[in-house]
């Protein structure tokens, strides 16, 4: 039933896109591409085959054990129609973790994918606005737990959630603005929410620097496997507008 919610959310998003395309004005498209570094630590619990693993990993620990990864924010707008996409991938070998009284090694592959569409409204003050979007968030995690002589246990979660997204943008000056991104949803997850306050600096007509902080929380229970974790840390990105 919860997976059906994800399918329904995707259908609703597609219907909204079709409706907004018909209503969009004739102004030019604008595209923003922002690769960024998210220095996130991970805190919480991961359940692998009913074995609960406590994870408390700083970004420094992740960087020391990083196998690969990357993050990018994409936006396409036309008039008041806004499309938004965010992708994060983190591959780590966490090393030693606690499993009850024993120690084990944990390898993790995590991919987060968000997509949304909606409308931009005028905000309070000149050059300020508020984006109201609906969309779908996908979270995929593959964990391999090495029980040090007792074999391997594999955990695979692939969850889809409908989300509502609010993206205010407040102009602080001609070049600086403040843009907190807020989202909340559910479906396959019991709850997923995000808070990401960011300062944006326009460095000319085509370039923009983002400095902020991002907190993403997931609660998923699939019986034998599950997660109750937070990804949180500072964020720095350089965007290109065209």
Provide the residue-wise pLDDT of the chain in tens; the chain has 242 residues: 445 555 545 555 554 555 444 444 457 899 999 999 999 888 888 776 677 777 777 787 777 767 778 999 999 999 999 999 999 998 877 665 555 555 666 777 889 999 999 999 998 777 899 999 999 999 998 877 666 666 666 777 899 999 999 999 999 998 999 999 999 999 999 999 999 999 999 998 899 999 999 999 999 887 777 788 899 999 999 999 99
Q: What is the pLDDT of residue 220?
A: 86
Q: What is the pLDDT of residue 103?
A: 62
Structure tokens at 60: 């420094």
- Output the pTM of the full model: 0.77
Q: What is the pLDDT of residue 24?
A: 45
Task: Tally Cβ neighbours within 10 Å of residue 48.
Answer: 23
Best CA proximity match to 49, nearest among 140, 146, 191, 192: 146
Task: Tally Cβ neighbours within 10 Å of residue 66.
Answer: 13
């Amino acid at each position: 039933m919860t997976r059906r919610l994800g399918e329904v959310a995707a259908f609703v998003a597609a219907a909204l896109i079709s409706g907004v395309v018909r209503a969009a004005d004739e102004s030019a498209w604008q595209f923003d591409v922002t690769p960024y570094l998210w220095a996130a630590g991970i805190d919480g619990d991961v359940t692998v085959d009913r074995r609960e693993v406590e994870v408390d990993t700083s970004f420094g620990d992740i960087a020391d054990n990083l196998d690969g990864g990357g993050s990018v924010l994409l936006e396409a707008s036309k008039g008041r129609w806004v499309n938004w996409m965010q992708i994060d991938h983190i591959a780590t070998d966490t090393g030693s973790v606690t499993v009850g009284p024993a120690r084990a090694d944990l390898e993790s592959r995590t991919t987060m994918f968000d997509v949304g569409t909606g409308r931009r409204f005028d905000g309070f003050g000149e050059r300020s606005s508020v984006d109201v979007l609906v969309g779908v968030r996908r979270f995929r995690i593959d964990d391999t737990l090495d029980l040090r002589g007792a074999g391997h246990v594999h955990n695979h979660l692939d969850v889809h959630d409908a989300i509502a997204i609010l993206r205010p943008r407040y102009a602080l000056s001609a070049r600086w603005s403040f843009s907190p991104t807020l989202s909340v949803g559910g479906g396959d997850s019991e709850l997923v929410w995000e808070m990401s306050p960011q300062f944006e600096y326009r460095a000319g007509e085509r370039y923009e620097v983002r400095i902020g902080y991002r907190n993403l929380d997931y609660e998923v229970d699939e019986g034998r496997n599950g997660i109750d974790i937070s990804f949180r840390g500072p964020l720095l990105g350089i965007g290109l507008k065209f």
